[in-house]
Structures are given as structure tokens and as C-alpha cells.
Structure 1
Amino acid sequence: MNRHAVPGRLLRVAGVVLTLTLFVGACSDSDDASSDATSTTSGSTTGTSTTSGAGSVKPVDQAGLEAALADGAKEFLYPGAFALLRTPSGTVTATYGTTERDGGDPVASGDHIRIGSNTKTWTATVILQLAQEGKIAVTDPVSKYRPDVPNGENITVAQVLDMRSGLYNYSETPEVNEALDNQPERVWTPEELLAIGLAQPPYFPPGQGYHYSNTNYVLLGLVAEQLDGKPLGEIYRDRIIGPAGLTNSSFPEATDTSLPDPYSHGYFFGTNMLTLTDPALPADMQTAATDGTLMPTDVTNNNPSWTWSAGGGISTAEDLATWAEALAGGKALDADMQAQRMKSITPTDPSNPEAAGYGWGIAKMGPMYGHTGELPGYNSFMGSDPENGVTLIVWANLAPGANGHDPASTVAKNLIGEMYTG
């Protein structure tokens, strides 16, 4: 499989998993739960279904969440994972395993993880807030703010937001991937990341296609700093983290490779270069991972500065749930801008009516709106269905899987398939 040919499926990008398009009707085998899975609940969750245009919704109970995480562990070999499901009937959470391989603490609801491209929802929301304030317009050419962008006079801010600019993804280059393997401690600057992306030929003329690209969001982060007159971390704090009440979320400085306590370690099979053109490990390495002769690497403290405004955030499951609901429910924007944002979501593959959609820093994945995030060591899914009052968060502390698939997003897809039955 050519990684470049699959929309949104870019492992180095911590990207939204737009290949998981067939949510409705998907299901997981929940008959073989591991004793390693545990759960807690607040409120009560019953089998009562609700009905909407998205179909009948039947909340998954504790046993179902436990089974989904245990099944995921069998396929992906992650040491630990967490799931949170909010419905009108209450909140159910489930944990699997531990925060470290062969030891560590049991996974808990307050564990901090790297959220990868879920950070893009922060970045896009900042740009849209600035648009509300008249400091930028989504119809503006990016050359107005960054004259160094090739053909920038023909690329709109909206096309940068929805991955239709054509700008090359810097994290698909051998230059970046070799450095991630050989210099994991390297501190990257946003300007050098942008320069790497802009030095490559575009994928297509502006507006003539879709290609998930971190370069778009590093560019937006730099524009946000330019317009707001402060560092990106302060912008997130003042515009996103504080107002939304994300008390356990943060955006580290470029030299900071730590996570706040408590946190989960993150693990990664293989190397970035090995999986650059095909996200799956070679068959013999997949077999070795399964039989335990190939061990994953602990990449917890690899420097994440290469992701910056495209994927550098840290959060917890509870905060992701709060933010997913704010994102889908319009709490971070005024009514007009939220309506424009939701209208911006269009299929990533126009030839496939069931393809997932992407818009201004927000994805539509089956009946849910949100995003996913992946970088080596961590994969997370956050989605909210405001029509039915359903929110789902899943994270796993190994990514990608040896088979090239996304652990948390796959578990989430299966859970959504169980809930939406019609």
C-alpha cells in the first residue's frame, strides 16, 4: 500500500484517520474480554436506545467497553488503553492494562497522553476566532500573511484549514523521518518545518484535491502568532484551554519532552523510515511482534517539537471529551462561524459517498464530529454526536500497530458500529 495514496492515513502526521469511513454497521467481537480490562461508571447506562437521523443509538455498557479494549490489545499489542463514553444516561469509562510495558501503574482516567493531531482542532479554532474578530478572513490568500508560500496568492486560508491547499506534507519527507529515527531529541522550529514542506512540489493546484498535510497547520500556527502577537502556547491557554475548562491540557515548550503526572508511556514498533511508504511493518516483523521476539521502543520522551501546531498538545480523556463536545456543539465559536465550520465539512473522496469528511480543523467520522491524533507512541480518537448527546474518547499507548492500523481509532470504529444500529 502506498501511504501517499490513502487520504489522511499519514503516520508521521498524528493525523485524522479518514480511512475509517464505514462506521455504521461495523461491530466488534465482545465475547472474549480479558481480565486485564477494568471499568468504572458514574451515572447509569442502560440499554435504552435513542433515535435520530443517524439511526438508532444503543449505548455500550461497561462489559462492552472492556471487551473492545481487550480485543484491541490482542490485535495491536498495546500495554494500556482507555475508553470514555458519555450518553444522556451517564458516563462509563474502562481501562486496560498499564502505563508501561511489563509493569508501571494501571491505566487511570487522569493519565496524560500526547494527543497528536487533535491539536489541529485547537489551531483551527484559534484562526476562526481571529476571523470573528476581523483580524483574518477565511477567503484571504495566505500570501497576505506569508508571502513566502509558493503560489500563496491563489491559496486561501480556508483551503489551508481543510487540507485542500496542495501544500506538501513535511512529515512525508525522508529528511524529517531520518532525523526522527537518528536524532529523537532534536528541537525543531516551526520555520524550518514550514520551509521543508514549501521546498517540495505541491500535490495539486489549490482547491483541486485533498491531501492531509501538517505543513498546513504549522503555517496556521505561525499566522496565529503573527496576528495575536504572542507565543502559540499562550494563545492556546488564553483562547482554548482556559475558556473550555481543560484543566489537564497543555502545550509544551519546544525543549520540554516531559508529560505531567500521571502519564502513560508511549511505544512504537520499528522505525519511521521503515514505515514511510507503507505503514505496516514487513510480514516477518509483524510475526516477531506477535510472538514477542520484537519489542516496541519507549518513545515517551522523544522530542515532539516536529509536530508543533499540527500535533504537540497534551491532554487527558476527560478533557478530550469536554473539548469534543465544545467543538461539535459550537461552544468555542459564535453561531455564524460554527455554522460555516460545519458547512465546510466535505467528503475527502468525492467518488465515495460514505467517505469521512474534513473541514476547517474538524472531521466527520460516521455520526460523530471530532478528530483523531497519532504520533509514534500514542493514538487517540475524540468524537461527539450532539444530536444524540453521545461522546466517545479512546486512547492507546502504542501506535501505530505492527499491521499499520491505528489502535484507538479502530477500537472507536468498532464501538460506534455497536452503538449505531440502523
Structure 2
Amino acid sequence: MVGACSSGSDSGSGPGSTTASVPVAAIDDAALQSTVVAAAKDLQLPGVVVLLRTPKGEQTVTYGTTERGGGAPVGLDDHVRVGSNTKTWTGTVILQQVQEGKIALTDPVSKYRPDVPGGDGITIEQLLDMRSGLFNYSETLELNQTMDREPQKAWTPDELLALAYAHPPYFPPGQGYHYSNTNFILLGLIAEKIDGKPLPQIFQDRLFGPVGLKNTVFPELTSNAIPVPYSHGYMFGDNVLTMTDPAIPADMQAAAKAGTLAPHDVTDGNPSWAWAAGSGISTAHDLATWAEAQADGKVLDPEMQAKRMAAFQPTDPSKPGGPEYGLAMAKLGPLYGHTGELPGYNSFMGSDPASGVTLVVWANLAPAANGQDPASSIAKTIVDEMFPPTSGASQTGSPTPTS
């Protein structure tokens, strides 16, 4: 699924509608448990949590512990860093501001940030769709080296943008797709400018409070804390080693499999480097509640929700049925949502109003030694079992990298 995001195609006519209802294959508790445990052991995960809601009720699986080799058992109330799922918060705020007439999707980004290279030709909508062409600062050696050397550094948004602006764009605005955290740093700054408040307060006032996300946090730039209870996060290798290929070298993978190479505890890293693109913290239940609110149209008016659900475009047009993205949301097979990853944590959230299925998965090791996104991989297995190809539902693709 989208490594941090993805999206879908067919949209319904109603404000919260998606695709037409399709048959859903039930997964009994034993089968779900077996699927999750097998994947967790294969990917060497210290812990994983799965929350599945269907019209028949709620199923959960918790495996492992909050600390590698010990600690408390993982639980549904554990807080974890949710990475690029944060983008759906930032994007939703912008869309709310659009429906309030405070900003337009067709506005050039230069109207709000004159410093953006080529900003006169980049629209707000292209930022939301990952089609601005702006270079992704997360792909710079400087950022990854600093994250390894100074994991608790508090980055400012302008420092992150400076890293991006030092590189040429991938393509002219609107003429391609490239997942770029730079887009959402800009959107976060624009949201603050329009509302006249810091982003943590905007999220609380517009989203967390109204939706009832009582265990969701957007930390201050200087904070590397996670509310208790929380799960530690682990990573093999370091950021520079996994910068262009998330898989560690073959000899290290073999050592990890043999148990002679242990992952590092990266829980205390400051997530400010991801800011509006990915520094959020949440729990399984809050992610499920948010995924449902977003897909059901509970956070936007009917007109804007319909526009959002019709905005999905393929991230790679040469791969029919693959991931799609639009207006800060992904379509992951039949589910609407996002994925997220920061060092040590990978999460997936998705909901389909048509079938009544909501799925949340998180894992406390990311990436896996072989480069896989653990939570996304587990979610894909579950979704493909519930929505087999014969049902007519598009299958989940492999998402693009996340924060």
C-alpha cells in the first residue's frame, strides 16, 4: 500500500459515498490471529496491533511487546508515531479553509509563500495531490545524516524547505507525480497563516476536538515525548543506509534473521523533521475513528467531500489498478485512508463506507530488514483476503514512500 499514502479511482455520487458495495469475505478470529502472527514473526516485529471493524463487529489482534525482548504486551491504547497519516490532518484543514472561502485550490502557492521556487505556477491543489514537482527534502543526504548524528534535533519548517529548495524540481507543476513531504510543510505553514494559530492548536480546534480524538497529539517542534502508554520503535541500520533502499544489505539481513544483528531503539528521535507531513501521534482506536470520519464525510461539507472523493489519480498511470492519490488522501484497494512511517514505526488506516470495513494496523519496527513496510504489508494481506479479486474491488497496490 502507499508507503505513506495512496488513493483510489471510482467515486460515488453522495457526499460520503465511495465505490458501490462489494461482497466482503469474513475473516474469523483464529484466521486473523494466524495471519498477523505469521507475518510478525517473518518480519521480526517486536509488536503489532490490528483493529478491524466490519458490520458484524470489531476484531482485534495484539502480538508482542512494547519493547524488544520485554516490556508490557502491546495494546490498543498504546500511542505510536503515525508518520504520514498526519498528512490527512493537514490536508483536511486546508480543505476546510477552502470551503470557508479563505483560500482556493487554484491559488498559486506564491500568494502565501513568495519564497517557493516557481511558486507562481504551483497551485494549492497540486501540493495536496503530490503533483507540484517540488523536491522532497526527506531525500537529501544532509537531512538523513543529521537525523543519524543528532536524532533529537528540533527542525524548523523553514530549515526543511531550504533543504528542498537547494535541489531542482522533479518536473513542471502538474506534469507528474512524486511523493514529497515538502508539499505538506508548505501546507502546514499556509494553514497557520490563514487561521493565525500554531498548527497544534488548529488540529485540536478543527479536528481532534470535534471528531473526539482524545488520544491523538501533534507535538511541538521541540518535543520528542510520546504520551503513556506507548510502544518503543525500532529500526535496523540507520537513515543514511536505508535512504535510497529501505532494505539493509544482504549480509545484514542474514545477521538479523540469525539474531546476531539487533535493531536500534529510535523511540526518542525528534519527529519535527516531518512536522505537518508526519509528526503526529495516535492510537489504534483514534486512527480508526479518524479514518471513518474522513471517508464518511464527517469533517467536510457535502460539496467538498464529493470533490475529495473524486480527486484520486494513479500515482503511476502505467500500472492500472495500482495506488492512487488525491487531496491528501489515498485509496488503498477499496479502503480510503493513508499509511505512515517514521524510523521505528509503520501504520496503516483505511475505511470504506460502502462495505462498512475499517482497518488499522501498526508495527513498532520500520522498515523491516528486507525493506518492507510491516503494517502496510499486513494490511494488504488482510484486505486482499476480505476483498478477493472476484469481488470486483480493486486490489491494494504498493504505496509510495512516506515520512
Aligned pair partner of 1:341 in 274, 285, 308: 308
Aligned residues between the structures: 379
Aligned pair partner of 2:268 in 274, 279, 301: 301
**In 2 relative to 1, CA 8–165 (structure 1 residues): closer, same or farther, beyond 3 Å?**
farther
Contact persistence 1:165–1:207 (CA under 8 A): yes
Aligned pair partner of 1:318 in 244, 269, 285: 285
Q: Secondary structure at the match of 2:26?
A: coil
Q: Secondary structure at the match of 1:147?
A: coil
Question: TM-score, with normalisation over the residues of structure 2?
Answer: 0.92
Question: TM-score, with normalisation over the residues of structure 1?
Answer: 0.88
Deviation at 1:212, TM superposition (A): 0.2
- Given the alignment of the two structures, is residue 275 of structure 1 paired with residue 275 of structure 2, yes or no? no
CA offsets, 1:145-183, max 9 Å, x none?
111111111111000001000000000000000001111
Aligned pair partner of 1:194 in 154, 161, 165: 161
Aligned pair partner of 1:147 in 91, 101, 114: 114
Amino acid of the residue matched to residue 143 of structure 2?
Answer: V
**In 2 relative to 1, CA 17–183 (structure 1 residues): closer, same or farther, beyond 3 Å?**
farther
In 2: Cα distance, 1:64 partner to 1:176 partner: 42
Contact persistence 1:17–1:409 (CA under 8 A): no
Aligned pair partner of 2:5 in 13, 16, 19: 16
Deviation at 1:74, TM superposition (A): 2.1
CA offsets, 1:60-92, max 9 Å, x none?
221122112212212211100000000111111
Partner of 2:98: 131
In 1: Cα distance, 2:363 partner to 2:322 partner: 24
Deviation at 1:196, TM superposition (A): 1.1
Partner of 1:159: 126
- Given the alignment of the two structures, is residue 351 of structure 1 paired with residue 351 of structure 2, yes or no? no
CA offsets, 1:393-413, max 9 Å, x none?
000000000111100000000
Q: Secondary structure at the match of 1:70?
A: helix
**Which runs of structure 2 are paired with 1:204-283 in the superposition (5 Å)?**
204-283=171-250
In 1: Cα distance, 2:51 partner to 2:286 partner: 11
Deviation at 1:54, TM superposition (A): 5.9
Partner of 1:43: none
Q: Secondary structure at the match of 2:23?
A: strand
In 1: Cα distance, 2:124 partner to 2:310 partner: 16
Deviation at 1:17, TM superposition (A): 6.3
- Given the alignment of the two structures, is residue 96 of structure 1 paired with residue 25 of structure 2, yes or no? no
Q: Secondary structure at the match of 1:56?
A: coil
Contact persistence 2:29–2:59 (CA under 8 A): yes
Contact persistence 2:6–2:315 (CA under 8 A): no
Partner of 2:373: 406
- Given the alignment of the two structures, is residue 176 of structure 1 paired with residue 143 of structure 2, yes or no? yes
Q: Secondary structure at the match of 2:273?
A: coil
Partner of 1:4: none
Deviation at 1:256, TM superposition (A): 1.3
Runs of 4 or more above 6 Å deviation: none
Partner of 1:46: none
Contact persistence 1:8–1:211 (CA under 8 A): no
In 1: Cα distance, 2:22 partner to 2:178 partner: 30
CA offsets, 1:227-265, max 9 Å, x none?
100100000000111111001101111111111111100
**In 2 relative to 1, CA 102–17 (structure 1 residues): closer, same or farther, beyond 3 Å?**
farther
Amino acid of the residue matched to residue 336 of structure 1?
Answer: E
Deviation at 1:53, TM superposition (A): 4.1
Q: Which runs of 5+ in 2 are unaligned?
A: 9-18, 392-403
Amino acid of the residue matched to residue 300 of structure 2?
Answer: L
Contact persistence 2:47–2:62 (CA under 8 A): yes
- Given the alignment of the two structures, is residue 379 of structure 1 paired with residue 368 of structure 2, yes or no? no
Deviation at 1:285, TM superposition (A): 0.4
In 1: Cα distance, 2:23 partner to 2:355 partner: 10
CA offsets, 1:278-337, max 9 Å, x none?
111110000011111110000111111101000011000000000000111110000000
Q: Secondary structure at the match of 2:286?
A: helix
Contact persistence 1:267–1:299 (CA under 8 A): yes
Tell which has more relative contact order, 1 or 2 (C-alpha 8 A, sep 6+).
2
Deviation at 1:8, TM superposition (A): 6.0
Q: Secondary structure at the match of 2:349?
A: strand
Greater shift in the superposed pair: 123-132 or 192-201: 192-201
Contact persistence 2:343–2:367 (CA under 8 A): yes
**In 2 relative to 1, CA 8–97 (structure 1 residues): closer, same or farther, beyond 3 Å?**
closer
In 2: Cα distance, 1:403 partner to 1:208 partner: 32
Contact persistence 2:6–2:329 (CA under 8 A): no
In 1: Cα distance, 2:220 partner to 2:311 partner: 32
Q: Secondary structure at the match of 1:139?
A: coil
Give the CA RMSD over aligned residues. 1.4
